[in-house]
Every structure is written in C-alpha cells, then in structure tokens.
Amino acid sequence: MPRILRVAAAQMGPTQKADPRSQTLGRLIALLERAAAEGAQLVVFPELAFTTFFPRWLLDEAALDPYYEEALPGPETQPLFDRARELGVGFYIGYAEKTPEGKRFNSAVTVGPDGTILAKYRKMHLPGSVEPREGARFQQLEKRYFEYGDLGFPAFRGPEGWGEPVLGMLVCNDRRWPEAWRVYALQGMEMMLVGYNSAAYDPNGGETEDQGLRTFHSQLAAQANAYMNACWAVAVAKAGEEDGSGLIGGSCIVDPNGRIVAETRTLADEVVVAECDLDLCLQGKTKMFNFEMHRRPEAYGLISSQKGAIAPPRKAG
C-alpha cells in the first residue's frame, strides 16, 4: 500500500514591523484552514513566521525582546495550535526562541495532528554578521541576535496517519549547505521541511544578485539536494516587500527526482498542495544514492582534514 502524505506549502506575504501579532496569527490560521480545506495533512510555514524579519535592524534589548518566544505554544501562539488540533492537521513553523537560560536561537518545530510537538530544530548556518556594515542600506545581523544551533540534525518519524515518514528540518540558509541534507539522509530522511526569509537582493552588499537569481538559487538548492538525497523537499518563503526590504517567494514542493511538483506564483499569502508518495524515495535510496553501497567516507576524511584552500578566493570586483 503506497504511503501518500498530502503536504501544503503555506507561503506568507510580508509581515510589517507595525503589524500586530494578532493580525499575523490570524493570517497563519487562515492559511492553515485553506490548506486543510484542500486536504493537507501537513502544512509548512516559513522561517520566523510570527514576526517581521527583525535581523535587518540594529536593535537594543528592549526593542529586541518582544520578537522571541519564551515558550511554544505560548499565550499568543496557542490559537494556532488549537485550530490545527481541531482540524487534525500538523505543521512546521519557524520562530525566534529564547530559552529559560536566556539563549536565543532561530528555531523551528514540527507539530503533529494532535497538537503535540514532534521535534525541534535550531538553525545551524547563520548568515550575516555580528556588527552592522557601515554605510549599508540593508543589514543581516543573524549572528548578532542568534546563537548557532546546538541540537544537531536529528531525523524523526511522523505519525502513523502520515505513513510514518522519516522527516528532517532546516531553516533558511541551512538549505544551501549539502552537509546538512546528507547528515539527515544518512538517517533515512524521506522529506525535508524548510522555511525561509530570503532577501531579494544580496544581503551582504554588491549588485551581482537580484530577485530572479536568488529565487533560482533557492529552488536549485531544494531540487538538487532532494535528488542527491532521494527525498521530498518542501521549501516555503515569507515573501514580498517587508518594511522596505524585498523577500523572494518561490515556495515549492520537490519530488525525489528533483522535479518541482507544486510552486507558488505570487509574493503574497498563498497555499499550494501536493500528494507526496513517500515510496518514490526508494528508487534513489536503493540505486543511484544507495549510501551503503556507493559512498566512500574513507576518502571524504581527506577532504575535511584540509586546513585551507590551495589559493584563497579572489575578491569580487
């Protein structure tokens, strides 16, 4: 009997700095309900879904603190969990986490159809810088506001009603790093869930990347890694013009052959749904990407032991 999981990519349009949390939560619930009406069992939301992308500003502690969740669900986010449980739908969502010890992470959780958290992930590959770049129109200060993830890349199983898929989670920039996908794939991962807030410009300065190129790279990362790890990939954006800064869309669901089977067409709130046959992973996992048969980790150690490149990269321009 085939294992079919009906999955929705629930893209969000922009969330402005002045938008009240209740308004944003209402949008999330509306997207959840729209996905459920289309038969989705699992809904994937973006990175930092409850707020605007606040690392684009230099903020003091008083202004920074309201962006973090000290508990999930908490008083302001509980309605999303309650509605998902009523609908019998699970979801992945990204958020800014503040631990009881005061540590801060760019995190994501996957929630089962009964409203319980199945697993948590903390973003590992933080882009940007600690200090603002002088004179830059846009900043990317994730290294200032978050610590590097400390939970590793633990794959986990979804519930029986989903076909007990082996799932993995990444957040935004993580999807560009093949090592993260491979660590999950070595655990048998069949579907990767990824939310992102990716700039429609080069966030590190320069004019060589525009919205079109960055959308292409975003989908390329999902397609290539889905193929090379014989898994489904669900990559979901927060998109549009957010407080004067553009974010790409291009949310997509990719099959284990690297083909996009569903994708968004706008930069607004939008839902696309696909039936994901988990057994399609078997073609790659038993043949081309049969890791036990074909990998050569004894050679890869030689690569990872190198301390530096033969020649440093040349500077752009």
| Catalytic annotation, residues | 47, 123, 172
The answer to whether 260 and 253 have CB atoms below 8 angstroms apart is yes
**Distance, CA of 77 to CA of 181 (rounded, Å):** 29
Q: Around Cβ 143, how many Cβ atoms within 10 Å?
A: 15
Count of helices and strands (H, E) across the chain: 9, 14
Amino acid code (one letter) for 135 = G
Burial class (CB in 10 A: 0-12, 13-18, 19+), 206: exposed
E strands along 112-206, which residues?
Answer: 117-122, 156-157, 166-171, 191-196
